Amino acid sequence: MTEIPVQERPGRARGQAGPLLDIRGLRVDFPDIDGAPAIDGMDLAVGRGEIVALVGESGSGKSLTALTVMGLLPPGAEVIDGDVVLDEEDVLSVSPKRHNKIRGNKVAMLFQQPKVMLDPTARVGGQVTESLRLHRKVGRREAKSRAVQLLKDVGIPEPKRRASSFAYQLSGGMAQRVMIAAALSADPELVIADEPTTALDVTVQAQILQLLKQKRDDLGLSILLITHDLGIVSTMADRVAVMYAGRIVEDGATRDIFDDPQHPYTQALLRASLLEAERGELYSIPGSVVQARELDHGCRFLPRCPVSAALGIQEVCGSAEPVLSTCGKQEHHSRCYASREYAEAG
């Protein structure tokens, strides 16, 4: 695997205390499936109080990254290398018992389909305070009143009545609010939100995003936002990390990524998400992530890359994977030979 110079690792150069979440050189593999590991040399940092968006196509390993942090890897998946440090504790080496303590307490997760994630047979109030009772040893009666307060905090009308509702009685937006209340109940420091609004209407989406942002501002929460909707990224994130075929190919401040994308994959993603026709046809990225798994050396994006061909540097790109390196602006990194730094160096 590619060596990344220490000083080039994102998040390392941050001023004060280290980042809240620091993923370094993570590799997660499904041993039963041929090809490169699903996550293959992933580096990602989320600072305290920061909203970092993790973007990329389906199959690039975004959700698997989240599940690794949560300690909820699906059967058949295995961490083969790397560190995941959460608040100065390596969560990959802790016991399952300790991981249970971390989950909910330090890190909580929001999912794409809130109605599916809620227990259909239990009342909402109990589910909201489950981790509170587990981690904070709060009694039954106090939990009940805390549930109402938590539901109120996420803007649920008639929280007292809603606490005794079942999941099927909630709309999608309401269910996601309940999930947020549950996630925040034990006062975690990091929330991983995996496509939290994909299943929701635009009007409700705006409300949920606003709620998350407000919680960040009020509580100093850190949020790792996984999404493929670049419109959401643009309004929510402080920093963006672009993931492709199991590793980060570009990261930087949100405006830098949108205004000055350096990696051809980022450029392609941006172009594909703009629903604006050029010569009557929308741009879509040729090929798929799946092909990348079959490459054993060289840049993973090469088979789909328009830039490499245009510059005539396929040979370089195919020989060794470029490292994630600074491109001009501070804290802006790109893993591409055609990025500014490489280009300037000759």
Partner 1 sequence: MTTVVTEDVHDWAASSPLVELHDVVKHFPAGSGKTVHSVDGVDLAVRKGEVLGLVGESGCGKSTLARTILRAVAASSGHIVFDGRDITRAKGKELKALRRSMQFVFQDPYGAFDPKMSLGTSLEAPLRHHGMKDREERRERMMAMLDRVGLEEAILERRPSECSGGQLQRMVIARALLLKPRFLICDEPTSALDASIRAQILNLLVELKEQLDLTLVLISHDLRVVRYLCDRVAVMYLGKIVEVAPRDELFTNPRHPYTRVLLAATLTEESTADDMVLRLKGEPPSPIDIPSGCRFHPRCPMAQDVCSVKVPLVSVAGPEHTVTCHFWDEVGPPPLSTAGPLPTSPSHPA
Least distance from partner 1 to the Cβ atom of residue 62, Å: 11
Residues paired with 225 in a beta bridge: 53, 193
For partner 1, the closer of residues 79 and 285 by Cβ is 285
Least distance from partner 1 to the Cβ atom of residue 214, Å: 10
Least distance from partner 1 to the Cβ atom of residue 261, Å: 11
User: Contacts with partner 1 in 214-243 (CB under 8 A)?
Assistant: 228-232, 234-236
Which sign does the torsion angle of CA 114, 116, 117, 123 carry? positive
Least distance from partner 1 to the Cβ atom of residue 198, Å: 8
Residues 6 or more apart whose Cβ sits within 8 Å of residue 17:
48
Task: Transcribe 113-136 into DSSP letters.
Answer: -HHHHS-TTS-HHHHHTHHHHHHH
Task: Transcribe 305-328 into DSSP letters.
Answer: -HHHHHHT-HHHHHHSPPP-EE-S
Residues 6 or more apart whose Cβ sits within 8 Å of residue 321:
2, 297, 298, 299, 300, 335
For partner 1, the closer of residues 186 and 245 by Cβ is 245
Binding to partner 1 by residue 207, rule CB under 8 A? Answer: yes
Phi, psi of 333, deg, nearest 5: -125, 145
Least distance from partner 1 to the Cβ atom of residue 207, Å: 7
Q: Which of 3, 276, 296, 344 binds partner 1 (CB under 8 A)?
A: 276
Binding to partner 1 by residue 283, rule CB under 8 A? Answer: yes
Binding to partner 1 by residue 210, rule CB under 8 A? Answer: yes
Q: Which of 15, 32, 202, 315 binds partner 1 (CB under 8 A)?
A: 202
Residues 6 or more apart whose Cβ sits within 8 Å of residue 214:
none
Give the contact letters, 145-184, x = binds to partner 1 (CB under 8 A), - = no.
------------x-------------xxxx----------
Query: Quick one: DSSP state of residue 163?
Result: T
Stretch that binds partner 1, among 36-44, 126-134, 283-291, 325-333 (CB under 8 A): 283-291
Binding to partner 1 by residue 328, rule CB under 8 A? Answer: no
Binding to partner 1 by residue 253, rule CB under 8 A? Answer: no
Count CB atoms within 10 A of the CB of residue 179. 26
Residues paired with 201 in a beta bridge: none
3-state secondary structure of 302: helix
Least distance from partner 1 to the Cβ atom of residue 53, Å: 12
Stretch that binds partner 1, among 90-98, 182-190, 280-288, 292-300 (CB under 8 A): 280-288
Task: Transcribe 324-341 into DSSP letters.
Answer: -EE-SSTT-EE--TTSHH
Pairing of strands 239-244, 51-55: parallel
Least distance from partner 1 to the Cβ atom of residue 278, Å: 9
* Tokens representing residue 263 in the block: 């990696």
Edge-to-edge strand order for the sheet containing 78-86?
A: 39-46, 21-29, 78-86, 89-90
For partner 1, the closer of residues 105 and 273 by Cβ is 273
Binding to partner 1 by residue 17, rule CB under 8 A? Answer: no
Q: Which of 138, 204, 253, 316 binds partner 1 (CB under 8 A)?
A: 204
Q: Which of 5, 6, 277, 330 binds partner 1 (CB under 8 A)?
A: 277
Binding to partner 1 by residue 288, rule CB under 8 A? Answer: yes
Cα separation, 160 vs 260, in Å, equals 49
Give me the residues that bind partner 1 (CB under 8 A), please: 57-58, 157, 171-174, 198, 200-207, 209-210, 213, 228-232, 234-236, 258, 268-270, 272-277, 280-285, 288
